[in-house]
Structure 1
Amino acid sequence: MQAAPTPDPRSGQPGPGERNALGAEPSAYLRQHAGNPVHWQPFGDAAFARAASRDVPVFLSIGYAACHWCHVMARESFEDQATADYLNSHFVAVKVDREERPDVDTVYMGATQAISGEGGWPMSVFLTPEGLAFHAGTYFPPRPMPGRPSFRQVLEAVHEAWTERRDAVEDNARSLAENMGQVQLAAAVDVSRPPELLDAGLLPAAVRSLAGSEDPDDGGFGTAPKFPPSAVLEFLVRHAAVPSETAGKARDMAGRTLAAMARSALFDQLGGGFARYSVTRDWSVPHFEKMLYDNAQLLRVYVHWIRLGGTAGFPAAEATDIASRTADWLLSALGLPEGGLASSLDADSVVDGEHHEGASYLWTRDELERVLGAEDAAAVAWMMNVGTQGAVSELGSPLHPGRALDGDEAQLWSRVRPRLQETRARRPQPGRDEKVVAGWNGLAVAALAEAGAVLGRPDLVAAAGRIAGYLERVHWRAETGQPDAGEPATGELVRVSHGGAARGIGGLLEDYAFCADGFLSLYSATGDPRWYTLAEALIRAACTRFVDAGRLADSAGESEQVVRAQGGKPGLDPFDDATPSGAAAFAGALLGYAALTGSAEHRIMAGSILALVPPLATRAPRVAGWLLATAQAALAGPLEAAVVGPAGPERDALHRALLLSPSPGLVVAAGDAGTDDGGKPAGVPLLRQRPAGPGGTPLVYVCRGMVCDRPVATVEEALERVSSALQ
């Protein structure tokens, strides 16, 4: 029997062995597309080599498991056989989970915005086999819409351009990559050069600039769609803690937004936790996916608001309820048996085989009446804005008051909420993406450790410890062998794990920074030097991994295609996105570490990163919130508090009082000034040579730059020292 002819590898046609290769991928998002007739490939050298051998472009589709419009485009186009046949014949199709590969997402998002003027997910990018972008967009419908071509039209136009105008396509791709490289050079940070002093006047100017874009009626900034401005809120809360002419303005803005979000549909009034964003200006219609990174950041901000004392129309008691319920939701909804936290809950629930956005969360008046009876249902519908017509779809409206409840309403809500929760639990539930991302779990460690300390909940501190232990056990690959004398051990952090096993690329700068900050927060809350030691190893590893010739980068160049796409230059994005920028988070971790160790080297490195603040403080403060928050900590510190003496109620009282201080520059260490077996100083440097008082009386040393005032023995004296440092 004659063998079937082998296609010419440069004919453009897929070979006989090509197929959808996502079935074995651990990513929940990639597996969602494993049944598509599209011959999806995971991102990697093999896919680009295949495109080169066939002489066809790469179609790169980027999304994430909880993305509603990703599901829509999949259903409309990627599950359509005719569309898949055309895509398979003329392209190599590559799927990327943006949460696994934010380095890929960031670079090609920059290209997408430059090409199309828009950004979002699903992201649709067309690349040369070298990885250079030449055409891009986001969601494309199956049929043309006003101002937006159909996906099939886009595919045909790109194929025609590739085959008929190849030289122009490749020239444009190279030009875009070169321009992106120039942008990277402009944002470069040289951490080897001592920085100039940070101008304290920049922060009040940033507050005034933010006030110009605030929505004073509904809270937040700008108009719809409206995202929780977590990093900006962190800056405002920190700024409000330091006396200045703009401290009150910062407190008012933060309070308005925190209150508006807490009382809105963005916050799940039944189950706790925040949705990704609101499609309306007044936060009344959320986009229902719930992300670990949003809830970890918001938990921390609400805890810091409590620590600040509340007011501005949003009392600390109400914030305490929101923080407690958010922490409980994080652990109950995202907690995994191995010890880490899952990435997200989907926006959609599958009802009778169909995806429905927000279906688990929506209520009609009839449903309320069936569960609660006519009288309670009428009161709850009025109180929680459930009208006769659904605000989201025919399935109903989310429950939200949009205001503070009065005493009688709060009692009613407390009484009926358990019955509504029981009913909702019997509905189809949104899917969970059980991917564990190191950096996002680091954010949660910091938030839960601080929440436990401020709320007086040891269970939350313990939960932070379990998550940190998972990161250490699964994601951290400690360096084997003995480190050089006097140098701590180091290693490598892996970004993602599934089912208790790490896989894929090494961690990015943000992963190292978020985890190091989380471990430092956990150390401050517990006094356990294990977490300080691990944070130190991460920081030192990051300094080696992400600094080349003095320049800081977001990644260590995991994929050569990504490096080519940004002009061959190491990339550093100084702007916050859904999470703080890696550079800003790293500056914060460096500041905390320098305060505990007295390391001038790491303090200088943090200051070099904060050199990004001046051009952003007034022109773009909404995307520089964490840089501004870190700058506020730097200007208010370093203020170090060493709590020494034997463990017990007296030391615990001093330790807890300091953890409740809102001072943004304060770093707290607690323990004994011990020595190792050779009699050399051991443990955290801030504690060394700080003896307890007579008879082992616990003392607090309040220090600046490791130079300490006379130690004090009472809570009142310790807090007075910290407070006076803010004046």
Structure 2
Amino acid sequence: MGETRVRWREWGEAAFREAQEQDKPILLSISATWCHWCHVMDRGIPGDPVHTGTYSDPEIAELINTYFVPIRVDTDRRPDINARYNMGGWPTTVFLTPDGEILTGATYIPPMQMRQVLLQVLQYYRSHRSEIQRRAQEIARRRQEASRPVARPGAQLSWTIPMHLIGLIARAYDPVYGGFGEAPKFPHPEACLLLLVEYVRGGCRDERLAEMVRRTLHGMAEGGMYDHVEGGWFRYSTTRDWSLPHFEKMLEDHARLIPLYLYAAEVLEEERFREAAVRALEYIQRTLYDPEREVFWGSQDADEEYYALSRRERAMRPPPAVDRTVYTNWNSQMALALLIAADILEEDRLQEMALRNLDAVWEWAFDASTGALVHYMDIHGERADAKGVPPLLGDQIHYARAALAAFQRTGERRFMERALRLRPYLESALADPEGGGFFDRPEDPHAIGALRIRQKPLEDNAAAAEFYLTLYDLTGDLRAREIAERTLLAFEQEYVKYDFAAAPYGLAVYRAITEPVRVHVIGPREDLETRRLLRAAWHGDPFHRVVIPMDPRQDAPAIQAQGFPLDGWPAAYVCVGTRCLPPARMPAELVERLRMSGR
């Protein structure tokens, strides 16, 4: 007879029905393939008598199997569940009523403590029914109130918001080691990006802003947060001085850090930042990229022993496991990062990789029956929709943003068309027509527990606003501009609850209240000189510029409507508001025009 193991169920109606019929509380474990302490809680640390496996303990497993309904969820595959039930980290260990309301919870629980917790929860569940019901109703009410930020009548977007956020970032800044807040210390790349954007806007005169970015990026690139053997960043530091990281490596983090480091290298003239980004790109292509499928895998596992080895010693051991799951949102973010990297590093192959990735993701992830992209597919072909995961906001928005970025750099119409194909789902299934903004998941009358109440995630809504603002700048669609503004206004008071972590919202507001530099590039898209002008059009600002490719063979009416001649191409016109500079016909000439535009 084998050892007793926890009999994990999948999140779904069957598991909750079992809990209701047998009147058992639910033990929900939110885990991750990259999570070291999740593995410790499952299996323990070999040779360590203190950290034995909680769930591999036969007595604990028997208690759980007998008196609870255990459910296991992967946080990357179910971000909607994680957003509602996470207890402050991974693993999350949360006890629920059979209806899915929270009784209590924690993160890592060692075996000795787990025995006591299981018995205490069981006793509380059996003897405090009326109190549990009242508390569940109160939690549901608070959750409902917190989930629906709405645009206030008369509210406006102004410089007050990004300036306030810069103040919050400065208050959280660590002047000794860089970074923001105390340990554990996370990268917060958007906070650095907001500081950089304001530094450039102010004419690069406020050295206080530059120093916050410089010290923070040096800390993350030169301390324990960076893998100095294989390249790339670990997820976060457990210490204030960046010396001891959590060793998992995430595709999402690299998609946000690589463009930041490259832009900072340009603005602050720091070659070390460029080197860190290039080595991180090499790591991503070597470890997380599948050249056959042209997709990026989700993450690489944490392994403290492996990452303590030298280069020679590492070569003698198999590397930590890679989660061979393709996440639509993270692939889209990495595609955007590659497009930006291609501009700054002037490497066509990075752009080509991004375009192939966007094509590959669209091919497997777009579901014509819903008009939306599914969240993930793993190497075995298992898809999110087959597991009951609805199309989520983050996947649609991040792909749509990357698609518009690809269109602006190539003039390839399929990317614009894909972004437009995602709009109906966004606006019919996820938008809040009354309060503004977007919910993370569609309405579902059969949703379980906390999923019954939809949420408006700040970061994804900020990304949505940026998508709609870019769409307006490219097409002149006033409805798109209105949606963007109402999305941002929905958080006009709410953002302060996030403190400096609301930096993505500050960047989106900055984008909304700033007149962008628009570059109209006119010429056949396959023409070499046209492509060179498109590359040069991003010089100096890969984030807040709008580049409008116009092919004279197809876009003649639009070119004439803008007042540009139909001959003499390829040519690029730099415009701010209604003022356009004379045409540039060579990349160097275009770069000079961009300098003249005041950016």
Per the TM superposition, whether the score is higher than 0.5 is yes
**1:436-585 superposed matches below 5 A:** 436-478=326-368, 491-499=371-379, 500=381, 502-504=383-385, 505-551=389-435, 552-557=438-443, 560-562=446-448, 564-565=449-450, 568-574=452-458, 581-585=459-463
Match of 1:659 among 535, 538, 545: 538
Secondary structure of residue in 1 paired with 2:548: strand
**Greater radius of gyration (CA):** 1
Q: Which residue of 2 aligns with 1:205?
A: 164
**1:279-428 superposed matches below 5 A:** 279-307=238-266, 309-311=267-269, 315=270, 317-336=271-290, 337-348=292-303, 358-363=304-309, 421-428=311-318
Change in Cα spacing, 1:73 to 1:721, as seen in structure 2 (3 Å) is same
Q: Which residue of 2 aligns with 1:709?
A: 580
Secondary structure of residue in 2 paired with 1:502: coil
Secondary structure of residue in 1 paired with 2:167: helix
Secondary structure of residue in 2 paired with 1:139: coil
- Contact 1:595-1:639 within 8 A present in 2 as well: no
Change in Cα spacing, 1:639 to 1:608, as seen in structure 2 (3 Å) is farther
Change in Cα spacing, 1:240 to 1:427, as seen in structure 2 (3 Å) is same
Summarize deviations over 1:240-291 as a string: whole Å, max 9, x none. Answer: 2212698543322112211221112211112111100111111111110001
Report the CA distance between 1:722 and its aligned residue.
4.2
**Identity percentage of aligned residues:** 30
Query: Within 2, Cα distance between the matches of 1:627 and 1:220?
Result: 19
Change in Cα spacing, 1:602 to 1:246, as seen in structure 2 (3 Å) is farther
What one-letter code is carried by the residue in structure 2 that aligns with 1:509?
A: L
Q: Which residue of 1 aligns with 2:505?
A: 627
Change in Cα spacing, 1:265 to 1:612, as seen in structure 2 (3 Å) is farther
What one-letter code is carried by the residue in structure 2 that aligns with 1:327?
A: L
Report the CA distance between 1:691 and its aligned residue.
7.8
Secondary structure of residue in 2 paired with 1:121: coil
Secondary structure of residue in 1 paired with 2:224: coil
Q: Which residue of 1 aligns with 2:228?
A: 269
- Are 2:551 and 1:672 aligned? yes
Q: Which residue of 1 aligns with 2:49?
A: none
Report the CA distance between 1:61 and its aligned residue.
0.7
- Are 2:482 and 1:604 aligned? yes
Query: Within 1, Cα distance between the matches of 2:91 and 2:117?
Result: 15
- Contact 1:334-1:344 within 8 A present in 2 as well: yes
- Are 2:322 and 1:432 aligned? yes
Q: Which residue of 1 aligns with 2:48?
A: none
- Are 2:56 and 1:57 aligned? no
Change in Cα spacing, 1:664 to 1:459, as seen in structure 2 (3 Å) is closer
Match of 1:90 among 67, 85, 97: 67
Larger mean CA deviation between 467-476 and 620-629 belongs to 620-629
- Contact 1:636-1:664 within 8 A present in 2 as well: no
What one-letter code is carried by the residue in structure 2 that aligns with 1:359?
A: E
Secondary structure of residue in 1 paired with 2:511: helix
Secondary structure of residue in 2 paired with 1:700: strand
Query: Within 2, Cα distance between the matches of 1:247 and 1:538?
Result: 41
Q: Which residue of 2 aligns with 1:39?
A: 7
What one-letter code is carried by the residue in structure 2 that aligns with 1:697?
A: W
Query: Within 2, Cα distance between the matches of 1:428 and 1:300?
Result: 30
What one-letter code is carried by the residue in structure 1 that aligns with 2:285?
A: L
Q: Which residue of 2 aligns with 1:30?
A: none
What one-letter code is carried by the residue in structure 1 that aligns with 2:547?
A: V
Larger mean CA deviation between 48-57 and 229-238 belongs to 229-238
Query: Within 1, Cα distance between the matches of 2:307 and 2:444?
Result: 40
Report the CA distance between 1:536 and its aligned residue.
2.1
Q: Which residue of 2 aligns with 1:696?
A: 568
Q: Which residue of 2 aligns with 1:154?
A: 117
Query: Within 1, Cα distance between the matches of 2:298 and 2:478?
Result: 36
- Contact 1:207-1:250 within 8 A present in 2 as well: no
Larger mean CA deviation between 628-637 and 438-447 belongs to 628-637
What one-letter code is carried by the residue in structure 2 that aligns with 1:442?
A: S
Secondary structure of residue in 1 paired with 2:493: helix
Change in Cα spacing, 1:591 to 1:162, as seen in structure 2 (3 Å) is same
- Contact 2:574-2:597 within 8 A present in 1 as well: no
Report the CA distance between 1:618 and its aligned residue.
6.4
Secondary structure of residue in 2 paired with 1:73: helix
CA-based RMSD: 2.7
Report the CA distance between 1:494 and its aligned residue.
0.2
- Contact 2:333-2:398 within 8 A present in 1 as well: yes
- Contact 2:429-2:443 within 8 A present in 1 as well: no
What one-letter code is carried by the residue in structure 1 that aligns with 2:63?
A: Y
Change in Cα spacing, 1:721 to 1:560, as seen in structure 2 (3 Å) is farther
Query: Within 2, Cα distance between the matches of 1:691 and 1:673?
Result: 13
Secondary structure of residue in 2 paired with 1:217: coil
Report the CA distance between 1:632 and its aligned residue.
1.8
Structure 1 gaps of 5+ residues are 1-19, 21-34, 113-118, 144-149, 349-357, 364-419, 480-489, 575-580
**1:121-200 superposed matches below 5 A:** 121-143=90-112, 150-185=113-148, 187-188=149-150, 196-200=155-159
Report the CA distance between 1:558 and its aligned residue.
5.4
Report the CA distance between 1:456 and its aligned residue.
1.1
Report the CA distance between 1:40 and its aligned residue.
0.6
Q: Which residue of 2 aligns with 1:72?
A: 40
Secondary structure of residue in 1 paired with 2:27: strand
- Contact 1:295-1:326 within 8 A present in 2 as well: yes
Query: Within 2, Cα distance between the matches of 1:477 and 1:36?
Result: 41
Q: Which residue of 2 aligns with 1:106?
A: 83
Q: How many residues align?
A: 580
Q: Which residue of 1 aligns with 2:50?
A: none
- Contact 2:158-2:513 within 8 A present in 1 as well: no
Query: Within 2, Cα distance between the matches of 1:251 and 1:657?
Result: 25
Report the CA distance between 1:690 and its aligned residue.
5.3
- Contact 1:227-1:276 within 8 A present in 2 as well: yes
Report the CA distance between 1:603 and its aligned residue.
1.1
Change in Cα spacing, 1:77 to 1:342, as seen in structure 2 (3 Å) is same
Secondary structure of residue in 2 paired with 1:78: coil
Secondary structure of residue in 1 paired with 2:383: strand
Report the CA distance between 1:205 and its aligned residue.
3.1
- Are 2:208 and 1:249 aligned? yes
What one-letter code is carried by the residue in structure 1 that aligns with 2:236?
A: Y
- Contact 2:573-2:582 within 8 A present in 1 as well: yes
Secondary structure of residue in 1 paired with 2:296: coil
Secondary structure of residue in 2 paired with 1:61: strand
What one-letter code is carried by the residue in structure 2 that aligns with 1:519?
A: A
Summarize deviations over 1:189-217 as a string: whole Å, max 9, x none. Answer: 58xx8x74421133233223311221122
Change in Cα spacing, 1:598 to 1:692, as seen in structure 2 (3 Å) is closer
Query: Within 2, Cα distance between the matches of 1:421 and 1:636?
Result: 47
Secondary structure of residue in 2 paired with 1:41: coil
Summarize deviations over 1:145-195 as a string: whole Å, max 9, x none. Answer: xxxxx111111111112222222122212211111112123x2458xx8x7
Change in Cα spacing, 1:210 to 1:528, as seen in structure 2 (3 Å) is same
Query: Within 2, Cα distance between the matches of 1:613 and 1:188?
Result: 7
Larger mean CA deviation between 201-210 and 602-611 belongs to 201-210
Secondary structure of residue in 1 paired with 2:174: coil
